């Protein structure tokens, strides 16, 4: 039976690109899905923000951001979300409270749209989507804001090549043709960071080609292989995926029989590495469930194992009192002791330099960075690296 998409969307395209098997289960076979807690949490943050910004526009509010309304909306969404862990609830309050404080003032006239629907024609496909928020910056500029609840911070490359933002740029040009400039931003809710980028016409042409190509592939594919990765644990169809189940059992398909066969060694190494990531991700997810239970009790005894929450202690020594003790008991002077006892952490140096350069003239900031770099002591140790090759190995080219 042939399959045809009713429409395309970024989420559909992303799912197929990440794992064709997940796409098949979700959109072709329409198998029941089980959204994970992280997805539900992100959705309720989005819902709370959408409700408040709609109220700001509808009631023409300007002035102090209505933090009380935002938190009330979050609590209401939480009550219907199916989530229950107190730590997660508290984290949501913190995230949205920080959002409100960072957006201390609001002006309803600067908000062009909230949860803006759009439909784009890309060759024979219709691309459907929704933009979280669109702001009017000036008479020639609009700013797209998409909320993300990721824990990780995106790299610059990820932002500049993000397909979702490219789709939003196409939609903005269609919906607001007067805007000569379209700013594209991902607002990282957990970090309070807005990461912005733009798109050229060449960028959008490439995105259109990719969308049409991938859309065609979703309909013409006869096989839908699973692509194992550490995100499998969060997939809403992991319970129905036999490949994922085999990975959890540690079943390796490519077993090296001859260690002199370096190609076979590399194949098995990569398969084991993928499985290790999957298993550790699953372990983390299971531990999270157990830790939630240990918020209610001090100890769990299950399957012959005892689980408790232990405390780790980090010990540090204040500089002056430590030097004083050593001077008094060893007879060594401070000039002798300082090189033996003290070193400065790179993270603290970087943070201080970053803070100081905000108030320094550019030339002074460059001088500070150069001098600090010059006195750094560097040590090099070997580390094994493995990454996907970007060019074909010799002999593979036609």
Q: What is the pTM of this model?
A: 0.73
- Residue 41 and residue 92: Cα distance in Å, rounded? 8
Task: Tell me, yes or no, whether 116 lies in a domain.
Answer: yes
Do residue 211 and residue 332 come from a single domain? no
pLDDT digits (tens, 9 = 90+) for 112-128: 999 999 999 999 999 99
- Per-residue pLDDT for 392 more than 60? no
Per-residue confidence (pLDDT) for residue 162, from 0 to 100: 96
What pLDDT, in 10s, does the model give residues 100-111?
999 999 999 999
Report whether pLDDT(397) > 50: no
Domain for residue 15, yes or no?
yes
Q: What is the pLDDT of residue 92?
A: 96
**Which region among 65-69, 201-205, 232-236, 250-254 has the lowest average model confidence (pLDDT)?**
250-254
Q: Is 80 exceeded by the pLDDT of residue 19?
A: yes
Q: Which of 169, 189, 218 is the last residue of a domain?
A: 218
pLDDT at res. 40: 93
> What band does 204 get if pLDDT is binned at 50, 70 and 90?
very high
223 domain residue, yes or no: no
Q: Is the pLDDT of residue 67 over 90?
A: yes
For residue 72, pLDDT over 70 is answered with: yes
- Whether residue 390 has pLDDT greater than 70: no
User: Is residue 21 one of the residues assigned to a domain?
Assistant: yes
183-194 pLDDT tens trace:
999 999 999 999
Task: Look at residue 68 and tell me if it is in a domain.
Answer: yes
33 and 160 within one domain: yes
pLDDT over 70 percentage in the chain: 95
Which phi and psi angles does 312 have, rounded to 5°?
A: -105, 145
Residue 276 lies in a domain: no
Residue 394's pLDDT is what? 43
User: How many domains in the chain?
Assistant: 2
pLDDT, tens digit, for every residue of 76-92? 999 999 898 898 999 99
C-alpha–C-alpha distance, residues 35 and 235, integer Å: 8
Q: Which domain holds residue 331?
A: 319-372
| Structural domain includes residue 310 | no
More confident residue, 181 or 304: 181
Mean pLDDT estimate for the chain: 89
Query: What is the pLDDT confidence band of residue 393, given thresholds at 50, 70 and 90?
Result: very low
What is the CATH classification number for the domain harbouring 112? 3.90.320
| CA nearest neighbour of 212 among 119, 120, 118, 124 | 124
Q: What is the pLDDT of residues 129-163, one digit of tens each?
A: 999 999 999 999 999 999 999 988 999 999 999 99
In a domain, 328, yes or no: yes
Neighbours of 46 (CB within 10 A): 19
Residue scoring higher pLDDT (248 or 225): 225
Which domain-ending residue is among 165, 198, 218? 218
Same domain, 176 and 324: no
Answer with the one of 173, 195, 218 that is the final residue of a domain.
218
Summarised one tens digit per residue, pLDDT across range 328-338 is 888 888 888 88
- Do 209 and 351 sit in the same domain of this protein? no
Nearest to 148 by CA among 51, 41, 8: 41
């Amino acid at each position: 039976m042939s399959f045809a998409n009713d429409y395309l969307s970024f989420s559909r395209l992303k799912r197929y690109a990440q794992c064709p098997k997940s796409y098949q289960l979700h959109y072709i076979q329409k198998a029941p899905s089980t959204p994970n807690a992280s997805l539900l949490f992100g959705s309720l943050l989005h819902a709370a923000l959408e409700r408040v910004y709609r109220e700001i526009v509808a009631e023409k509010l300007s002035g102090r951001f209505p933090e009380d309304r935002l938190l009330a909306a979050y609590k209401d969404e939480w009550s219907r979300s199916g989530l229950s862990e107190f730590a997660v609830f508290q984290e949501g309050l913190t995230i949205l409270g920080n959002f409100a404080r960072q957006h201390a003032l609001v002006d309803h006239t600067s908000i062009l749209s909230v949860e803006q629907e759009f439909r784009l024609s890309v060759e024979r496909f219709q691309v459907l989507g929704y933009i979280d928020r669109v702001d009017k910056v000036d008479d020639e500029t609009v700013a797209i804001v998409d909320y993300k609840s990721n824990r990780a911070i995106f790299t610059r490359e990820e932002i500049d090549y993000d397909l979702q933002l490219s789709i939003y740029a196409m939609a903005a040009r269609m919906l607001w043709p007067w805007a000569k400039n379209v700013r594209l931003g991902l607002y990282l809710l957990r970090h309070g960071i807005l990461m912005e980028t733009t798109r050229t016409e060449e960028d959008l042409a490439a995105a259109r080609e990719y969308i049409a190509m991938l859309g065609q592939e979703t309909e013409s594919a006869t096989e839908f292989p699973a692509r194992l990765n550490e995100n499998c644990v969060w997939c809403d169809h992991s319970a129905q995926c036999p490949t994922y189940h085999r990975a959890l059992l540690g079943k390796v398909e490519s077993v090296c029989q001859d260690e002199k066969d370096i190609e076979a060694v590399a194949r098995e190494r990569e398969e084991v590495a993928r499985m290790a990531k999957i298993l550790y991700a699953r372990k983390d997810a299971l531990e999270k469930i157990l830790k939630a239970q240990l918020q209610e009790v001090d100890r769990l005894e299950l399957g012959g194992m005892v689980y408790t929450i232990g405390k780790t202690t980090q010990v540090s020594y204040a500089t002056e009192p430590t030097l004083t003790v050593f001077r008094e008991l060893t007879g060594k002077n401070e000039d002798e002791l300082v090189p033996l006892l003290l070193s400065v952490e790179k993270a603290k140096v970087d943070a201080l330099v970053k803070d100081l350069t905000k108030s320094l003239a550019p030339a002074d900031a460059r001088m500070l960075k150069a001098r600090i770099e010059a006195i750094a002591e560097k040590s090099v140790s070997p580390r094994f690296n493995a990454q996907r090759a970007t060019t074909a190995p010799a002999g593979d080219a036609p």
